[in-house]
Amino acid sequence: MMDREEVRLRRSPFAIRDQQLREYIQGITCRLAGEHCPDVRVYLFQTPLFNANMAPNGMMQVWTGLMLRVDNEAQIATVLGHEIGHYLQRHSLERLRDVKSRSAFGQFLGFFGAVGAIGQLAVLASAFAYTRDQEREADEIGATLMRRAGYDLAEASKVWENLFLEIKSRPNYESAMIPMFATHPGVEERQETLKKLAEAAPGGVTGEEAWREKIKPFRREWLADEVKRGQHEESIALLTRMIARTPTQAEFVFARGEVYRLRAKDNDLDAAFIDYQTAVTIGGEPPETHRGLAMIYRTRKQIPEARASFERYMQAAPNAPDLLMIKSYLEELGT
């Protein structure tokens, strides 16, 4: 049944078809899995949430929301190694044995095939979650696999620390749940355990430069998906961290400006305007930066500036899908 689910997922419109990226992530996975590499098949899916999972037949899903958030190979190896740990210990098979009814079994399969079904994922993850002991075991196995593969274990705790920054940004975050935290050990416990493991085996590579180069062609699209996700506080926390780490990346600054503009709370337009201008100063900004500036100028009734920014956007993106709307704005501004 899981094999049939895998066939269905291969045809998913969310599947990333880029062969080089798939082979790159498969290579990291094989580096961790060692002799089990032939049993593991990695599929990448364009879904803007931090998530990866591994089915009992060796099918692994990795989502773009995860790939956007990690800073290097060692950090993604943390999550991939964790999922391989579940697989090696047959944790998903144990969960299957606990499923008593046919309908529940179908739901369990649906958890592994929930690509794009963001609204359903938290419910499914809660209903068919691993136990905390299973999660701890997977963490320990993942750390062992990272060490054997030569990755820096010090990066492991940073994955959860960074994700927790996003969770804390939510209103009433104490009651907020996401699949990766719903049943995992507490963040403080997990960080402390992983730090101790790293101290016991220092050194290793991070693979940061290679990671940046491999995801660079896709990053702008993944950032756009993050902005569209509509979780403004989380996105601002994520993008602020990314800007602090690499302040010369105009696309990060632009994306945060978009989130501020779309949230539109007190002083958000001012913050968005500053980010857009900063992106232009850095250079290499996405064309949409000028559209964002134009929208703010339009709101502020700064007609010449709005016209100039709209026109600059049209010149930078002559095939943009929203050109008819932009032309209507220009006509409006001309009256």
Residue 54 Cα distances to 82, 86, 194, 239, angstroms: 10, 8, 21, 28
Give 318 or 176, the one with higher predicted confidence.
Answer: 318
**Average pLDDT of the segment spanning 149-158:** 94
Confidence of residue 328 (pLDDT cuts 50, 70, 90): very high
End-to-end Cα, the chain, rounded Å: 63
Look at residue 189 and tell me whether its pLDDT is greater than 70: yes
Give the tens place of pLDDT for each residue, 85-135.
Answer: 999 988 677 666 666 555 555 555 555 555 544 444 444 444 456 778 888
Q: Which residue has the higher pLDDT, 106 or 56?
A: 56
Task: Assign 186 a pLDDT band (cuts: 50, 70, 90).
Answer: low
Which pLDDT belongs to residue 243?
A: 98
55 pLDDT tier (thresholds 50, 70, 90): confident
Q: What percent of the chain has pLDDT over 90?
A: 64
Where do the structural domains in the chain lie, given as residue ranges? 2-200, 217-333
Low-confidence winner among 34-43, 179-188, 297-306 (lowest mean pLDDT)? 179-188
Over residues 280-301, the mean pLDDT reads 97
Cβ atoms of 41 and 92 within 8 Å: the answer is no
Q: What percent of the chain has pLDDT over 70?
A: 84
pLDDT for the residue 62: 94
Q: Is the pLDDT of residue 140 over 60?
A: yes
| Residue closest to 258 by CA, chosen among 282, 281, 225 | 225
Q: What is the mean pLDDT of the chain?
A: 87
- pLDDT tens-digit profile of 218-253? 999 999 999 999 999 999 999 999 999 999 999 999
174-178 long-range contacts, Cβ below 8 Å, gap at least 24?
Answer: 177/122, 177/126, 178/49, 178/50, 178/122
45 - beta bridge partners? 15, 63
206, 72 in Cβ contact below 8 A? yes
pLDDT of 335 strictly over 70: no
* Residue 259 to residue 271: CA distance in whole angstroms: 10
List, for residues 254-270, the tens digit of each pLDDT value: 999 999 999 999 999 99
pLDDT at position 121: 45
Predicted local confidence at residue 1, as pLDDT: 76
> pLDDT by residue (tens digit) across 67-82?
999 999 999 999 999 9
Q: What would you report as the CA-atom Rg of the chain, rounded to the nearest whole angstrom?
A: 22
pTM for the predicted model, two decimal places: 0.87
Kindly report the CATH number that applies to the domain delimited by 217-333: 1.25.40.10
Q: How high is the pLDDT of residue 122? A: 44
pLDDT of residue 184: 58
SS3 per-residue string spanning the chain: CHHHHHHHHHCCCCECCCHHHHHHHHHHHHHHHHHHHHHCEEEEECCCCCCEEECCCCEEEEEHHHHHHCCCHHHHHHHHHHHHHHHHCCHHHHHHHHCCCHHHHHHHHHHHCCCCCHHHHHHHHHHCCCCHHHHHHHHHHHHHHHHHHCECCHHHHHHHHHHHHHHHHCCCHHHCCCHHHHCCCCHHHHHHHHHHHHHHCCCCECCHHHHHHHHHHHHHHHHHHHHHCCCHHHHHHHHHHHHHHCCCCHHHHHHHHHHHHHHCCCCHHHHHHHHHHHHHHHCCCCCHHHHHHHHHHHHCCCHHHHHHHHHHHHHHCCCCCCHHHHHHHHHHHCC
pLDDT for 104 equals 55
